[in-house]
A and B are shown apart, each in its own frame.
Chain A
Amino acid sequence: MSELRRDPILGRWNIIDTDEPAAAGSFEVEPQEMGGGKCPFCYGNEAMTPPEIYVARPAGSLANGPGWNLRVVSNKFPALKIEGELERRGLGVFDLCNGVGAHEVIIETPDHRRQMADLSLEEMSAVIKAFKTRSLDLRGDRRLKYSLIFKNFGISAGASLEHSHSQLIALPIVPKRVQEELKGAERYFEFRDRCAYCDMLNQEVHEDERLVCENRSFAAFCPFMAGFPFEVWILPKEHHADFAQISTEAVIDFARILKETLVRLRVALSNPSYNFIIHTAPLDPRAPEEYHWHLELIPKLTKIAGFEWGTGFYINPTPPELAAKALREVVLPS
């Protein structure tokens, strides 16, 4: 018998196949191929991107030239543009506004051959620090309401360039999915005077059935109601609504657990494509304290079809207990 499991925050029910669960080896995984051609994210090709907004480079090297360790630039083909006003308006029953916002690319390493999972702890920490710095900086812009940090790895996850990078999109509205989470967390808090995510974390660490790994400040687990096979959430153990307020020590712990999770995923699933998204509170300084920032990681293993589009529910062929076990049992290279 399969199970219907409910997301305690979103109220979404997912179907979990506990009858004939799909193991790690049963998914078709596209090979991550390296194509040829001139890469705009490699040393020497800095002129192919818009000028750098943020950079980590040793003293002595020149802006927009080689020698850097990490670079943040504007997306050359932005989904939203930074200039102009919103001009919110109506059109009969419809509402619209101009596509104002920021779209930045974080080039994580100059080395074209390395994936994010290959980054050293120090390099990964630099990436997290760049996420933090850019989010804080965009806070000054009153038109912007939300900054979304995410990564698409592999073609089927929507990556258009193979050179390791993540992205930041700052939006003039709070996205619907985030609003739903905020509302869900608020509702839970009103009823129990506790944070839904703190409760979830406590239950997952206590039950130890879906836990993948943990360290001093973070825990990674496959959530009970996961909509996707091998979906992993990383939560800070301390209650914080806003990712951008992350402390210097926590940056290192976050880098460590993210790297470990990516390595486990790569080994268990033969280097799958994936998306990760940092879910955090809106930029508004009065953001609700009931929220708890976290990272959601979704390997691209299943196809979204009519049922998912029509219902907003997902069918997960791998129970999270099984996924967590497979990820836990990966022997890490020392």
Chain B
Amino acid sequence: MPELRKDPLIGRWVIIATDRAKRPVDFLAPHEDVDAPGDCPFCEGNESDTQKEILAIRGNGGGADGPGWQVRVVPSIKPLLRIEGELHRRGKGMYDLMDGIGAHEVIIESPQHIRNAADLPKEQLHASLKAAVTRMTDLEQDPRFRYVLWFKNYGSVAGAGRIHHTRSQLIATPVTPLRVKEELAGTRHYFEDKERCLVCDLLTQEREAKTRIVIESTHMIALCPFAARFPFELWILPKRHSCDFAKMSPEELADLADVTKQVLSRLKGVLDDPPYNCLLHTAPFRRQRGRVGHWKTIEDDYHWHIELIPRLTRVAGFEWGSGFYINPTPPEESAKYLREAVVELVHV
């Protein structure tokens, strides 16, 4: 009997096919060509092919927009949103619109032409996450923005485009995304009832049950969520309650880099280098604290986390129409495969 499971954060139901559970080998990920490092605008030596850097971590010295960097942040070549201008909020009959103002930045995670972040040394991941925190803290100063999304697309199926060089992206938006609002509402609702954080309760339960846990480190937990939408969907959550990714301690940040490396390597091993999307859910900017109702308890009721989605199934009419998903691999199975994977951690 398939099961319907409810995501406790946003109330979305998912169909889990418990009968005909699919195994890793049932998903074949198409592979893509690696383009030549010489043509790649994100490789060391080709700095002039991007716009001027916003931030660079340079352990080995070197001047701005020249070689010698470890991680580099540049504006997107094809930005979805533009940084200049005002929002011009307006109506058009029954519709509402505003200008596409925002920030769109690319975090280049390696000077070498490496495709998958799973193959990065731990130090590179650590530096990339540090760069993300620095940029997010800076973007918060811009009063036009309400949220910044950190995400990563790997493989063309996952929307990575033509440049096969590992990177993550930051998009600051002038509105709080719907998906984040739903999560905020869901966790606040639970908090109002119990005066406890839903995600903290969930972590306690998962650590007791153990069946969906993939990795537990000093500061982080990686697990396949109970109501996973997708096969091998995986979340990374901090053990310490915190609503804000950018407020991580240095130890937590180093640990997160370590766990991310582990998780990405396991996914790569178990699913033969699948395309994936990775995204961060953290609290919106809280500078208007006190003005809007739910921002009063947000620091107590929201819990940041990273969601990792390998792209193995196709989203079709049913999912679009209903907003709920059919998952052919129960998360207990996914977690077991990932836990048991013998992974050789590649160090470049």
Instruction: Report which A residues bind B (CB closer than 8 A).
Output: 1-6, 8, 10-13, 15-17, 77, 79-81, 84, 91-99, 146, 148, 150-152, 156-159, 167, 169, 171-173, 175-178, 180, 196, 199-200, 203, 207, 224-225, 275-279, 296, 298, 303-307, 309-313, 315
Q: How far is the CA of A11 from the CA of B96 in the complex (A)?
A: 10
Whether, in the assembled complex, B115 has its beta carbon less than 8 Å from a beta carbon of chain A, the answer is no
Query: Which of the residues B8, B178, B202, B277 comes within 8 Å of A306, measured between beta carbons?
Result: B277
List, sorted by A's number, 5 A–B pairs whose CB atoms are closer than 8 Å. Answer: A15-B80, A158-B317, A178-B322, A224-B95, A311-B178
B193 to chain A: closest CB distance in Å?
Answer: 11
Whether, in the assembled complex, B307 has its beta carbon less than 8 Å from a beta carbon of chain A, the answer is yes
Chain B residues within an 8 Å CB radius of A2: 80-82, 99-100
A242 to chain B: closest CB distance in Å?
Answer: 16
8 Å CB contacts to A: which residues of B187-234? 198, 201-202, 205, 226-227
Closest residue of A by beta carbon distance from B176: A311
A319 to chain B: closest CB distance in Å?
Answer: 11
- Determine whether the beta carbon of B323 is less than 8 Å from that of A1: no
Chain B residues within an 8 Å CB radius of A80: 2, 15
A116 to chain B: closest CB distance in Å?
Answer: 13
Chain A residues within an 8 Å CB radius of B248: none
User: How many chain-B residues does the 8 Å CB contact rule pick out?
Assistant: 71
A92 to chain B: closest CB distance in Å?
Answer: 4
- Determine whether the beta carbon of A277 is less than 8 Å from that of B321: yes
Closest residue of B by beta carbon distance from A276: B317
- Determine whether the beta carbon of A79 is less than 8 Å from that of B279: no
- Determine whether the beta carbon of A175 is less than 8 Å from that of B2: no
- Determine whether the beta carbon of B6 is less than 8 Å from that of A95: yes
Contact with A along B269-302 (1 / 0, CB 8 A): 0000000011111000000000000000000000
Whether, in the assembled complex, B262 has its beta carbon less than 8 Å from a beta carbon of chain A, the answer is no
What are the 8 tightest A-B residue pairs by CB atom distance, in nearest-first order? A158-B316, A305-B159, A177-B323, A99-B2, A306-B151, A2-B100, A277-B321, A311-B177
B16 to chain A: closest CB distance in Å?
Answer: 8
Chain A residues within an 8 Å CB radius of B92: 224
- Determine whether the beta carbon of A4 is less than 8 Å from that of B315: no
B183 to chain A: closest CB distance in Å?
Answer: 10
B338 to chain A: closest CB distance in Å?
Answer: 20
Query: Which of the residues B2, B97, B201, B323 comes within 8 Å of A4, measured between beta carbons?
Result: B97
Whether, in the assembled complex, B11 has its beta carbon less than 8 Å from a beta carbon of chain A, the answer is yes
User: Given contacts A148-B322, A307-B171, could you give 7 more A-B pairs where the C-beta distance is less than 8 Å?
Assistant: A93-B201, A167-B318, A173-B13, A199-B94, A305-B277, A306-B159, A312-B182
- Determine whether the beta carbon of B153 is less than 8 Å from that of A305: yes
Closest residue of A by beta carbon distance from B314: A158
A202 to chain B: closest CB distance in Å?
Answer: 9
Chain A residues within an 8 Å CB radius of B100: 1-4, 15-16
Chain A residues within an 8 Å CB radius of B198: 93
- Given contacts A2-B80, A3-B97, whether A304 and B321 have CB atoms under 8 Å apart is no
8 Å CB contacts to A: which residues of B152-189? 152-153, 156-160, 169, 171, 173-175, 177-180, 182
- Determine whether the beta carbon of A176 is less than 8 Å from that of B80: no
